[in-house]
Structures are given as structure tokens and as C-alpha cells.
Amino acid sequence: MSQVNWNNYACSDYYDELLAAPGKPRASAGELCSMFARFNADELAERKTAAEIAIRTMGITFTVYSEGAMIDRAWPFDIVPRIIPATEWRKTEAGLKQRVQALNLFIDDLYHEQKVVKDKVLPAEVLAQSVNFRPQCVGINPPHGVWAHICGSDLVRGGDGTLYVLEDNLRIPSGVSYMLENRNVTKRVLPELFATGKILPVDDYVAQLYDMLAAMSPRPGDDPQVVVLTPGIYNSAYFEHAYLAQQMGVELVQGSDLLVDDDDVVYMRTVEGLRRVDVIYRRVDDEFLDPEAFNPDSMLGAAGLMRAWRSGNVALANAPGAGVADDKVVYAFVPELIRYYLDEEPLLPNVPSYLCMFEDDRQYVLEHLDELVVKPANESGGYGMLIGPRSTKETRDEFARLIKANPRNYMAQPTLALSTTPTLSNGLPQPRHVDLRPFILSGPETHVTTGGLTRVALVEGSLVVNSSQGGGSKDTWIVETDEPAAAAVE
């Protein structure tokens, strides 16, 4: 007897990624839905168990912080993939490339002539109160003019099926290792569906990442020495740091492994002696990267890295200072930045936003706190947010106080009707809200991952998808298909 009867799937009032209506899969999801409809309860449980065993065997973990303690947990994964048709993805890919190109031009402008401020496209107060603008970076020219080499832009789908950019992550975006491992796990659990060749691959990311990093080397004629700089094993993303270093075949280092000499050249300490370093893929925040230039108490970076970078003797990815564009207030100006720098219309829309620094917007937000999502400008991971419809009066009163005290630091957006996709709960697929983080590599060429990291809210009705706050993840399939919508499946 079938365990998954898609006629009984309770399609929500939101756009569902797999089914257009109960029993009616979207064109690209027909084969997947048919397979799940053939599973009985035992088969479905076996596939789910196989995924859990694979995750434990492969050591896929993430770290959460709870009451001062650090807890390593197995990666939360759901075996029902999220599917996007390739025809739609090609348009999305073009929009992401356009967006990151404009953002890199914007960052470069801010550290040089600041034309965007002089021309009043970006209000001067936005830059003046930016916590991520680094005066130490003024006048520096990184290779290829690129500051944000790796970008993770979060996408959400609204109720009408439109994909919106929710935010851009340009400092130290994380999650790509889980995208890659999600695919490895899914291939073990649903190998039959990969035989058709319709699911586009993601495993070229690591080679593209290495090639991009190597192309930044100040010694292009030599075999470049690339390293991944990690804060260490206690960082929540340490799994990813180690994973990417291992996959690229490069050294994983900490700040204490690096030395900058009097000639502003970076070396790595090895058992065979000092070895010159050309490119650093750094996973350490700006303020801890170099105690000479930033926080003098930092033990995570290496003294002199900024000197070496400014001298052109080492390349840093992402470049220090790139976070000036990783600001939820700057986000609201990105469509205008695309028009300003590229003379093009944005291919991907922003979510409508209210900036509390503007009096009319601020008044609207204060009067509608129970309806809006309010975000601080520079928090990440879903922290520091107010989700109005699920908030208490006490919380709303506290946010009103915070907004009035520092309006530049807050923006608000409507509570979106985020799309859903079937997710196993108590052995049956149930609709759960999702977002998507594709990754964009910018160097001599620009590459966008074929899909990205789909994060899913595992709790019914929840909009919180972050793994640190109870969310999970799914494999994301970009599927080539010219087929009409599949026939109904039970």
C-alpha cells in the first residue's frame, strides 16, 4: 500500500514548489512524485534511515551555541528534494550575475571616489553610519576589481510564484558545503532518479572555487599556494572550512600558522619550514583578521595581513571591507545601484522594504509592527529579528524603542507568503516553508551554482529556516524538462 498519496497532500495557501494542486505535480516534479507514490511505509522509512546513516558516516555536522555551551549536531536533512525547472533557473542565474557585478562596482566605488554618494544615489548617512565600512581599505585595488569573490544571495518565492532576493551575504557566506553534501546524500538515497541525466550537477563548484582563487595569485607564473584560514574548531562553520580545504587539496590554517615578514610577504609555518602563501580564502571576520589593522586583541588572524594585501603580495577572498554592501539597509538600494552602475533594469526583484531612517517609513513601521518583519542592518542567522504576526506586545514595544533609538539600524519588510515544499513529518509529506541560497563566484569569470542550499522550516507554520534555530535542509534539483505537466499521481 502506498504511504505517499499525493491526492491527500494538504497543499497550503502558499505556492508549492512540487505540486500545483493535490495530486497534480508540476512538470519538472512528475518523476519524483511518481517514485514517492510507489513507496510503501517501510520503503520510505528505509530511505530516510539511509540518509541519516550517510550523514553520520560522512560526519556532516553543524555547531549550535546554547546557554554558553557548544553542541555538535548531525546535519538536519529531508529526503524530499526541492525542484526548480532549468528554464526558470537560467533567468535567475542571469539576475544573480547582474546583481553581484553591480555590488562589486559599488564596493570599489566606496573605497575610491564614492561617486554613488556624490551623485546622491546612496544617502551619505547610510555610508557614514555603516559599521562594515573599513577606512583601512580605502585606495586598495584587489585583483580583477573584485571585492566579494564568494556571495550567497538568499532567495524566497512569493505567493504568486515570483522569486525575490531577500538579502545578500558578502562578508563570509557559509553553507555551500552542505549544498554539496546534500547532493551526495541524495544520490545514495534516490539513485534511480539521477540515471535520466535531467538533474543538473553541482559538483563542479569546488573546481571553480579553486580556479577563481588561484587566478588571484600575485605570482601567476608559479603554482599558487592557496590556504583556507579558519578561526578554529570552535567556529560554527568549521566543518565547512575543513571540507572545502580538503576538497580543494589546500592547507587549512589558523592565524598562528601564518607569518608576515618585513617585506610584507605572507608565509605558512610547516614542518619543512616557511612556505610562501599567495591566496588566503579567509573565514575570519574583518575585525579579527589582523591585530595591526583592526582589533589589537585578536588571536584569530595574523599581524601584517593587511600590509601584505595592500602591497599586492597576497590576495584575500573575500576582500576585507566587502561587508559594506552586506547591510540590510544598503540592500534596499541595490535595484537603483544596478541602474546606476550597469544602466540596466534589475532582473531579480527585491522584497519591498521600509527604511526606518526615513521618517515616513519609520512611522509606518511603528504603526504596523504586528504585520511586518523587522531586521537589524547587520545581524545574520535570523538573530535580532521581529516577526510581527508571531510576536508579543512586549517584544513589539521593545523593538519600537530600539527603532526610535537607532533608526538607521532597522528596516522592515512585509511578512511574505513563503513558498512551501513537501517535507517528511511523522512519515508523511507535509508543506513546510523554504528559502534558497545559491552561491556566486566572481573572478575572471562569474559562476553561479546550479541551484543552491535549500533551507526548510521543519516546524509547521514556521518561517525560520536557519539550522541554528531549528531549521533543516534539502537537496535542490535544477531539472531540464520539456515535458508538459505530469499526469495526476496518488
Strand pairing category for 315-317 and 150-157: unpaired
Q: Give the predicted TM-score (pTM) of the model.
A: 0.92
DSSP single-letter state for residue 210? H
- Rg of the chain (C-alpha set): 23
219-313 CATH, one of 1.10.357.10, 3.40.50.11290, 3.40.50.300, 3.40.120.10: 3.40.50.11290
Return the minimum-mean-pLDDT range out of 60-69, 183-192, 226-235.
Answer: 60-69
The confidence band for 380, taking pLDDT boundaries of 50, 70 and 90, is low
Residues of the chain with CATH 3.40.50.11290: 219-313
C-alpha cell at 115: 561617486
For residue 65, the model assigns a pLDDT of 54
Contact indicator for 444, 208 with CB cutoff of 8 Å: no
Task: Tell me which H or E stretch contains 316.
Answer: strand 315-317
| 82 residue type, one letter | R
The confidence band for 10, taking pLDDT boundaries of 50, 70 and 90, is confident
Q: Is the pLDDT of residue 490 over 70?
A: no
Contact indicator for 148, 170 with CB cutoff of 8 Å: yes
354-414 CATH, one of 3.40.50.2300, 3.30.1490.270, 3.30.465.10, 3.40.50.300: 3.30.1490.270
C-alpha cell at 305: 595581513
- The pLDDT tens digits of the residues spanning 45-55 come to 899 999 989 88
From residue 144, give the alpha-carbon distance in Å to each of 194, 218, 312: 37, 12, 12
The confidence band for 481, taking pLDDT boundaries of 50, 70 and 90, is confident
For residues 136-148, average pLDDT: 95
Residues of the chain with CATH 3.30.1490.270: 354-414
Q: Is the pLDDT of residue 483 over 80?
A: no
Question: For the chain, what is the mean pLDDT?
Answer: 91
Contact indicator for 267, 274 with CB cutoff of 8 Å: yes
**How many Å apart are CA 261 and CA 303, to the nearest integer?**
10
For residue 485, the model assigns a pLDDT of 47
Determine what percent of the chain is predicted with pLDDT higher than 90.
74
The strand ranges marked E within 103-223 are 150-157, 163-169
For residue 462, the model assigns a pLDDT of 77
The confidence band for 3, taking pLDDT boundaries of 50, 70 and 90, is confident
**How many Å apart are CA 363 and CA 486, to the nearest integer?**
49
The confidence band for 470, taking pLDDT boundaries of 50, 70 and 90, is low
**How many Å apart are CA 53 and CA 358, to the nearest integer?**
52
Chain length of the chain: 490
Collapsed DSSP state (helix, strand, coil) of residue 180: helix
Return the minimum-mean-pLDDT range out of 176-190, 324-338, 367-381, 434-448.
Answer: 367-381
